[in-house]
A and B are shown apart, each in its own frame.
Chain A
């Protein structure tokens, strides 16, 4: 798997732990089913704790388990299954401020969707990167620079840019209207 964020490929500081595996050393991502049993031990060691959620996770059910979690990874079983985008938005909306990672065969064209929904990074299979080198991910992000939706994405939405332009021109008018 390869880890990608807005600035390119990055090192993964976390080790992914399988359902039946023993706990490794260092920062790790546990499956949801192991979080209650093994999470406290990881935290006690002073390591950072991550959790992997299926995209069918119900926010109300998992939220109480996420208090001390530094990273949440969300499963994308296929690039065409957009549930993870909504789950990410719900987590951000509820106030989750930690690292958020999309895990699955997302393609370069979807980096903006992931970042737009509050993900920090995408972990995608090597096979995808072999076809779509990191330059394509950066290019995709630089191609679409605008978005309409307020409350999503990086930078101001088009609606907010219009508002800023309106306010600036309003201030300018006020300034002109004032006596010298």
Chain B
């Protein structure tokens, strides 16, 4: 994991001190509410329906056990004993008091964390593949790149007052687990087909919200050393040309769409050519310095197969099921990556209590070199567990009711906080997630259905990523009544696709039946071994629509 040097540490402390004075200056009237708003947003502080919400950055979703314990302490001392993991790999506290926020930020700085740019019209916290460093299909670990971007984008003097928010995601793998085509900028690390040199495919203009778009390739191959100057060129074109007359048309995806990908590419390349790259880029020594922090942990040399694991699987059915759904392959023999589902049946997706955080931190210390990942699916991952220890880990998780065996299944639902918390929401999301979770609670049935991603947003801003859910659910409001629109066929992976609207809106209580009907059509039509999304691609939306006529 990355560790702060003296400069990083001082930088974050300075930002805390600045925010502390900004709060004081708001209270004494030096800053108007209009002036204070972007300043607090750039430090992750929202004013929600019932209270302030503080969003804490978990850069590229990597977290140490020490940091997780500190989050638990903050949850107990300043919140209501729980936190909410988000689709952007961050953590939100829903009940802090404004006067406490600077103290919370100091507690975060104690463990090398912050809330910088988790909100506001700036470059947001950078996200990455949650299996970074352990995935077998990886060309290069995306975290050093993400950390370099974190540093470069922090309090950028030029890019802190953009037309709108700006999100960057990085993957180093073939299979895209970071949804890079749904980001303002998506970076895919690859090898040049001719020379074998490492570089980036640069994708711009993806995004969800009210105008969902899949990103366009702006550069097929960017040499690795040019990263920061190329990002600067993209950001400058956007900062100068992005629309500011209408906040709903202000994201870079709209600019790319309106002038066309070709013209956008031309402007970026022109700006890039005018830039003095060497004065902007990080030198290779710096890149190596950062990369060294992400060296593999001290794995032991183990056989690929674990006899202990096989015996436990044979003896414990529930454990075997957990292994089937929540344990992923690891590039090092004898190890596995374990997904800890934060989606218990009937629970609030992504919520964790301080007690659970402490237990998970303890398990990370015991089984995974003290390191954790937050996934954009709102779950946690222990990325380096010895197969020999999987059963012991599962027993501990099970005792803490953290062993829900549903990763990627129909109850592994993504949901935004919705109208229960959010001031933008038009409808509730969490109760819909809970009712679906209860409807499909039966584990055997879930496994029979197989991988199926349901994503729920409580308004068109699409924080729950409904457009790229295999089944997407969007909560809206009309004449004071909440209703829900369903979409089918969305896909967040390298085959990124936006879902298609199924039909007219439904009342909240009709949603579980509707999803049930959709699932039944799939079960009836699927070929052997075919996942939901594959069947949908083959048969299209018509057979599903028929069920609703």
Chain B associates with chain A: yes
Task: Let me know if A86 and B240 touch, CB within 8 A.
Answer: yes
Within A132-175, the residues touching B (CB, 8 Å) are 132, 136, 139-140, 143-153, 158-159, 161-163, 166
Partner of B31, one of A114, A132, A159: A132
Task: Let me know if B10 and A146 touch, CB within 8 A.
Answer: yes
The segment from B32-40, B95-103, B366-374 found at the interface with A is B32-40
Q: Is B78 an interface residue (CB 8 A)?
A: no
Task: Let me know if A149 and B156 touch, CB within 8 A.
Answer: yes
Q: Is B155 an interface residue (CB 8 A)?
A: yes
- Chain A residues within an 8 Å CB radius of B30: 108, 131-132, 136
- Chain B residues within an 8 Å CB radius of A143: 14, 17-18, 21
- Chain B residues within an 8 Å CB radius of A83: 239-240, 244
**Complex CA–CA separation, A81 to B164 (angstroms):** 10
**Complex CA–CA separation, A79 to B121 (angstroms):** 13
- Chain A residues within an 8 Å CB radius of B38: 80
- Smallest Cβ-Cβ distance to A113: which chain B residue: B157
Within A46-80, the residues touching B (CB, 8 Å) are 79-80
Q: Is B527 an interface residue (CB 8 A)?
A: no
- Chain A residues within an 8 Å CB radius of B282: 150, 159
State the Cβ distance, A160 to closest chain B Cβ, in Å: 9
Q: Is B542 an interface residue (CB 8 A)?
A: no
**Complex CA–CA separation, A89 to B275 (angstroms):** 10
Q: Is A87 an interface residue (CB 8 A)?
A: yes
Binary CB contact string for chain B from 494 to 515 against chain A (1 if under 8 A, 0 otherwise): 0000000000000000000000
Task: Let me know if A82 and B5 touch, CB within 8 A.
Answer: no
What class of interface size applies to chain B in its complex with A? 35 or more
State the Cβ distance, A32 to closest chain B Cβ, in Å: 17
- Smallest Cβ-Cβ distance to B157: which chain A residue: A116
Task: Let me know if A89 and B7 touch, CB within 8 A.
Answer: no
**Complex CA–CA separation, A34 to B160 (angstroms):** 32
Binary CB contact string for chain A from 82 to 112 against chain B (1 if under 8 A, 0 otherwise): 1101110110011000000000000111001
A161-B7 contact given A90-B236, A117-B157, CB 8 Å threshold? yes
Partner of A112, one of B11, B25, B35, B157: B157
State the Cβ distance, B155 to closest chain A Cβ, in Å: 7
**Complex CA–CA separation, A114 to B289 (angstroms):** 30
A93-B160 contact given A82-B239, A139-B21, CB 8 Å threshold? no
Task: Let me know if B158 and A86 touch, CB within 8 A.
Answer: yes
Task: Let me know if B244 and A131 touch, CB within 8 A.
Answer: no
- Chain B residues within an 8 Å CB radius of A161: 7
**Complex CA–CA separation, A109 to B5 (angstroms):** 26
- Chain A residues within an 8 Å CB radius of B11: 146, 148, 158
Task: Let me know if B236 and A89 touch, CB within 8 A.
Answer: yes
**Complex CA–CA separation, A148 to B240 (angstroms):** 22
State the Cβ distance, B125 to closest chain A Cβ, in Å: 15
State the Cβ distance, B464 to closest chain A Cβ, in Å: 28
**Complex CA–CA separation, A86 to B22 (angstroms):** 25
- Smallest Cβ-Cβ distance to A88: which chain B residue: B158
Q: Is B407 an interface residue (CB 8 A)?
A: no
Task: Let me know if B285 and A163 touch, CB within 8 A.
Answer: yes
- Chain A residues within an 8 Å CB radius of B280: 149-151
**Complex CA–CA separation, A81 to B17 (angstroms):** 25
- Smallest Cβ-Cβ distance to B280: which chain A residue: A151
- Chain B residues within an 8 Å CB radius of A140: 18, 21
- Smallest Cβ-Cβ distance to B35: which chain A residue: A107
Within B255-292, the residues touching A (CB, 8 Å) are 274-276, 279-283, 285-286, 289
Within B1-30, the residues touching A (CB, 8 Å) are 5, 7-8, 10-11, 14-15, 17-18, 21-22, 25, 29-30
- Chain A residues within an 8 Å CB radius of B408: none
**Complex CA–CA separation, A19 to B275 (angstroms):** 34
Partner of A144, one of B18, B25, B152, B159: B18
- Chain A residues within an 8 Å CB radius of B32: 131
- Chain B residues within an 8 Å CB radius of A112: 157
State the Cβ distance, B164 to closest chain A Cβ, in Å: 11
Task: Let me know if A131 and B240 touch, CB within 8 A.
Answer: no
A147-B283 contact given A79-B35, A85-B239, CB 8 Å threshold? no
- Chain A residues within an 8 Å CB radius of B17: 143
- Smallest Cβ-Cβ distance to A89: which chain B residue: B158
- Chain B residues within an 8 Å CB radius of A132: 25, 30-31
Q: Is B161 an interface residue (CB 8 A)?
A: yes
- Chain B residues within an 8 Å CB radius of A139: 21
**Complex CA–CA separation, A128 to B251 (angstroms):** 30
State the Cβ distance, A75 to closest chain B Cβ, in Å: 13
- Chain B residues within an 8 Å CB radius of A159: 151, 282-283, 286
**Complex CA–CA separation, A131 to B133 (angstroms):** 51
Task: Let me know if A162 and B14 touch, CB within 8 A.
Answer: no
State the Cβ distance, B336 to closest chain A Cβ, in Å: 36
- Chain B residues within an 8 Å CB radius of A152: 156-158
State the Cβ distance, B293 to closest chain A Cβ, in Å: 13
Partner of A117, one of B7, B25, B158: B158
- In order of increasing CB-CB distance, the 10 nearest A-B pairs are A116-B157, A82-B161, A151-B279, A158-B7, A113-B157, A148-B151, A86-B239, A143-B18, A85-B158, A151-B280
What are 8 A-B interface contacts by the 8 Å CB criterion? A80-B121, A83-B240, A86-B239, A131-B32, A132-B30, A143-B18, A146-B10, A149-B152
Known: A79-B35, A94-B274. 15 other contacts (CB 8 A): A82-B161, A86-B158, A93-B275, A108-B30, A109-B39, A112-B157, A117-B158, A136-B25, A146-B14, A147-B155, A149-B152, A149-B157, A150-B282, A158-B7, A158-B11
- B residues with CB within 8 A of A: 5, 7-8, 10-11, 14-15, 17-18, 21-22, 25, 29-32, 35, 38-39, 121, 151-152, 154-162, 228, 236, 239-240, 244, 274-276, 279-283, 285-286, 289
